[in-house]
Structure 1
Amino acid sequence: MKKRREAQSSALSFMDCICCGFGAVLLLFILTTKKQIILSSEEASQSQEAAETLQAAIKETEAQQKALEKEIEALDPQPDTNATSLSELAAEQERLAKAVENQAQELKALEAQVEPKQAPASLDRPSADQSYLSGLRLRGPRAVILLESSGSMLAETAAEAVTIMQQGGWQKADKWLRAKESLKAVLAAIPKGTQVAVFQMAESTGPLSGSPGNPYIDPYDNAALVSLLDRLENLEARGGADLAQGMRTVANLKERASSLLLIGDGLPTAPAPPGRGLSEAERVNLFNRAMATRPNYPFNAILFPFEGDPSAAGLFWQLSGRTNGITLIPDNDWPTI
């Protein structure tokens, strides 16, 4: 027992030493980091002061140069002007001009150090899969995309979608992720020079791109595109899909759409009577009501699967064909997520 206690005491002392040593290293790291921050701040302040000093020096030198030019102009007309004086004044003028040039270069270098460098917003653009997207009639100059964000976009069956919503797992739902990836792929395939307005469409319709007053953006403007993708990342799929309101939103745009793409999974599900769902016949009626706007531009659709909606594909095919658009039903492995 005596030996065992000695071993434990020795082990405990050794662990104390290790902990103390680790704490000392951590403290040194914190102090060093703080010192680096202080030094960086001091360097920036010194650079700013040096830049202000240089600006003052440039102004003073330029003032001297202008005064010298006036002095030379006053001497030039005099026939008895000393040539040596003129030569000296000209040399002084050249020296001042050179000084202004050197100070301007130094100031430019200092300003580059003081100004924070901002990395431009960027996007890792996916390559457009031509086997699916080449047929889309997204013609310019203004294309509109309606992304259905109803609860059915979470799964292929209503029961699975309800379960996902109850468990709060909509962010990782495969079908919803595929829908958002398909939007990114479409944006990557749009030719330059075409403006795009992207709307989320559920029981209400609202812009994901731009602003409510001007939802159109240039998809090759990285800042505007990153803003759109941030909103897309946080977009929750829930509720029903009111296609009639989505079509009215597009029809009421100040700048008329040249083409439209719907990314969804079937017939509209809103508005619905309280306390019960809609039959397929009622949903077909909602679809026909939405098409009362009579779109006079190519209507395209990408339809993801949803069980119990057999007439959806045929109705969208008829609409696309009538407006010179196309309806795509992608394979289960497109797009990859």
Structure 2
Amino acid sequence: MSRKRKETEVFSLSFLDCICCGFGAVLLLFVLTASRKADQMDDLQSKIMAVIGDMEYEISLKDKEIERKKATLAVETRLAKDSGARLDETKKRRTELEDMLKLLLQQLAAIEGELGKLIDEKENMPTQEEKVPIPIPNPDRRQYLTGFDILGNQVLFLVEASGGMTADTLVDAAEWADKPEKERREAPKWKRVKKALKWMIANLKEGSNYKIIFFNKELVPLEVGFGRDWFDPMDPDLTVEVLNAIDDITPEGGANLEKAFAIVNELPIEPDRLVLICDGLPTLSDSYAGGGNQVMYDDRVAMLRAAQNALKLNLPVNTIMYPLMPDPGSAVHYWRLANSSDGSMISPSEGWPDI
């Protein structure tokens, strides 16, 4: 009887062991590799977060720098605007000072021309025995003979700013009284008054000071800067402020010369020259009530006497009168006032001063 052949088993115990061991090794390798990759991912994530933190810190620094630059730009912009405004003001002042310089140069040229004529006349005069000069009893009156004396150390200008300073006649002045303040400030006669005042300021001597008080029914002392009321004519910036302040005065109402003269006695600094600019006899008075509702010529003469009595200081009164017609007798009374105070009185032509 033949023996059966034993069948060969493909999956024997040894083979399965090898397979399991191999699979276990692969699984172990996978576990070890995955754990290492997780550690690497954690390290990478930490590095990324650190980089992000650094970038956020740099961004915050940049934001702060941008805010600082914005603030600096705002300050510089404001300073640039202020500088532009100051530059415009400086240009305006420069223009005004250039106008004043032109005026002074014109006056200098006129003086030089007169001096040249006098020198030529002297050189062409025939030779003769020199005569003894005529003595002048009071040298201070010399300016009275030639024109006007404003060469004091403390010069006070009293400027009438009544409605009569807008025109040369009563009829025209009444028409101007109904116009707005801006137009009255540009009235032809008032512009002549302001021009004369500015011309005299430009001709004050070096080292002197001056004060301006406008008067109508009230007193309007001129003040500029920080309440300054005595001014140095050689200070260009201060002069510009004074000229601008003069242009802001509006003529209106009547004229109380008594109140203007009375304030002269109370000034802390006593003037040695008084320049009065007016249009004729006063129309208001504190001590003289008048004869009725209508102010007549005799009433105005009495008001002038009351004003003279109010002036206690002994100083020359130099008057520039721009007459308001019809008023024929005013010039005589102001001439008498000038004569009694060792002053002077002029009634300038329409073209004076030619500046």
Fold agreement, TM-score > 0.5: yes
In structure 2, do the counterparts of structure 1 residues 315 and 213 end up closer, same or farther at CA, with 3 Å as the change threshold?
farther
In structure 2, the residue matched to 1:257 is 271
In structure 2, the residue matched to 1:200 is 214
Cα offset, 1:277, TM superposition: 3.6
Q: Deviations over 1:131-156 (max 9, x none)?
A: 99963222422000011100000111
| 2:295 equivalent to 1:315 | no
Distance in 1 between residues matched to 2:226 and 2:267, nearest whole Å:
10
SS at match of 1:314: helix
| Among candidates 103, 119, 126, match of residue 90 of structure 2 | 119
| 2:276 equivalent to 1:305 | no
| Among candidates 135, 149, 154, match of residue 161 of structure 2 | 149
Q: Deviations over 1:20-39 (max 9, x none)?
A: xxxxxxxxxxxxxxxxxx99
Q: Deviations over 1:235-272 (max 9, x none)?
A: 11000110011011111100101110011111111147
In structure 2, the residue matched to 1:175 is 189
Q: Are the equivalent residues in 2 in contact too, given 1:196–1:219 (CA < 8 A)?
A: yes
| Among candidates 279, 286, 293, match of residue 303 of structure 2 | 286
Q: Are the equivalent residues in 1 in contact too, given 2:224–2:245 (CA < 8 A)?
A: no
1:71-220 aligned within 5 A: 119=90, 121-122=93-94, 123=97, 124-125=99-100, 126-127=103-104, 135-168=147-180, 169-210=183-224, 215-220=229-234
Q: TM-score, normalised by structure 2?
A: 0.58
In structure 2, do the counterparts of structure 1 residues 200 and 150 end up closer, same or farther at CA, with 3 Å as the change threshold?
same
Distance in 2 between residues matched to 1:298 and 1:210, nearest whole Å:
27
Q: Deviations over 1:56-107 (max 9, x none)?
A: xxxxxxxxxxxxxxxxxxxxxxxxxxxxxxxxxxxxxxxxxxxxxxxxxxxx
1:39-78 aligned within 5 A: 42=73
In structure 2, do the counterparts of structure 1 residues 279 and 144 end up closer, same or farther at CA, with 3 Å as the change threshold?
same
Cα offset, 1:324, TM superposition: 1.7
Distance in 2 between residues matched to 1:45 and 1:288, nearest whole Å:
64
**RMSD of aligned alpha carbons:** 3.4
| 2:282 equivalent to 1:268 | yes
Q: Are the equivalent residues in 1 in contact too, given 2:280–2:327 (CA < 8 A)?
A: yes
In structure 2, the residue matched to 1:15 is none
Q: Are the equivalent residues in 1 in contact too, given 2:211–2:231 (CA < 8 A)?
A: yes
Distance in 2 between residues matched to 1:213 and 1:42, nearest whole Å:
37
In structure 1, the residue matched to 2:245 is 231
Distance in 2 between residues matched to 1:320 and 1:145, nearest whole Å:
15
Cα offset, 1:319, TM superposition: 1.3
In structure 2, the residue matched to 1:243 is 257
Q: Percent identity?
A: 27
Cα offset, 1:332, TM superposition: 1.8
Q: 2:267 corresponds to which letter in structure 1? A: L
Q: TM-score, normalised by structure 1?
A: 0.61
Q: Are the equivalent residues in 2 in contact too, given 1:138–1:298 (CA < 8 A)?
A: no
Give the unaligned 5+ runs of structure 1. Answer: 1-37, 49-112
SS at match of 1:172: coil
Distance in 1 between residues matched to 2:174 and 2:292, nearest whole Å:
15
Higher gyration radius (CA): 2
Q: Are the equivalent residues in 2 in contact too, given 1:146–1:201 (CA < 8 A)?
A: yes
SS at match of 1:180: helix
Q: Are the equivalent residues in 1 in contact too, given 2:290–2:299 (CA < 8 A)?
A: no
Cα offset, 1:336, TM superposition: 4.3
SS at match of 2:90: coil
Q: Deviations over 1:96-120 (max 9, x none)?
A: xxxxxxxxxxxxxxxxx9xx87838
